[in-house]
Amino acid sequence: MLTVIQIPVLNDNYIYLAKDVESGLTAVVDPAVAGPVLDTLAEQGWRLDFILNTHHHGDHVGGNLELKKQTGCRIVGAKADKHRIPGIDIELSDGGHFHLGSTVFQIIETPGHTLGHIVYYSTEDGILFCGDTLFAMGCGRLFEGTAEQMWHSLQKIRALPSTTRVYCAHEYTLNNGRFALTVEPDNAALQQRMADVRRMRESDQPTVPFSIDDEVATNPFFRADVEALKTAIAMETLPPLAVFTELRSRKDVF
């Protein structure tokens, strides 16, 4: 069983501390900076054992080396990105597993945002740390990969149990939802979710984590093969990849 602490940093990043209750082992996911992590560890009286990186971008690995220096932790990341993950000690690939004490994370490669992006999924806890592949009502920009790769990656995530709690790395929900409404303005589930999101953000509450089920109902990038969405943007006869590609292009200039 995991205990997860959410640490907001920079303008809109989230860092996560995840502690395996049974063993007491603790990991930090995508530490953009070291200071707030060290402060939270001290407040909780926890020791840091591992860093789990989803990808190589600076706002996800910026705290790696300082945390390793201060705590002696080991750094975990994608084998495909070993040359870009600072201080990496443990290299993981698709279909592999990482054990944080009694918690087992399944490793799923999700190229698109970057070519070496991975996500960490705990079946027992129903938790997904997904970095910048999936956001609430959005997905990562295609900095390195293709639309086809990202669409395939999102389908992998969409196939996880609907109750899975998703911990992404940014608070982008309000803007993502505004875009989603330009795509499906008549989507009742989306309208309700946006009303909830506005209330949460007005009171400075995080909109993360969220569920896979939330995304199936409201995330246009999950819904590129759904007839209602295809009809809404007059792409009924086109394949899902073409729809996804169009959506990503629109979001890039939104």
Q: Report pLDDT for 27.
A: 98
Known binding-site residue numbers for Zn(2+): 55, 57, 59-60, 113, 132, 170
pTM: 0.97
Catalytic, 97? Answer no
Total of domains in the chain? 1
Catalytic, 57? Answer yes
Annotated active-site residue in 20, 30, 49, 55: 55
Closest CA to 96 of 74, 75, 111, 76: 76
111 lies in some domain: yes
Q: Beta strand 165-168 with 127-131: parallel, antiparallel or unpaired?
A: parallel
162 lies in some domain: yes
93 lies in some domain: yes
Give the CATH number of the domain where residue 44 resides.
Answer: 3.60.15.10
Catalytic, 152? Answer no
Annotated active-site residue in 20, 49, 59, 81: 59
Rounded (10°) CA dihedral 242, 243, 247, 252:
0
250 lies in some domain: no
Known binding-site residue numbers: 55, 57, 59-60, 113, 132, 170
Catalytic, 170? Answer yes
233 lies in some domain: no
List pLDDT tens digits, range 194-244.
999 999 999 999 999 999 999 999 999 999 999 999 999 999 999 999 999
Handedness of CA 65, 66, 69, 75 (dihedral sign): negative
Closest CA to 57 of 169, 188, 172, 154: 169
For residue 110, the tally of other CB atoms under 10 A from its CB is: 30
105 lies in some domain: yes
Q: Report pLDDT for 113.
A: 98
**Burial grade of 148 (CB within 10 A; 0-12, 13-18, 19 or more):** middle
Q: Report pLDDT for 19.
A: 98
Catalytic, 59? Answer yes
Annotated active-site residue in 49, 81, 132, 214: 132
Annotated active-site residue in 57, 117, 125, 214: 57
Domain that holds residue 59: 2-172+206-219
70 lies in some domain: yes
Annotated active-site residue in 49, 56, 81, 113: 113
List of the chain residues with pLDDT < 70? none
**Residue 216: what are its φ and ψ, rounded to 5°?**
-60, -35
134 lies in some domain: yes
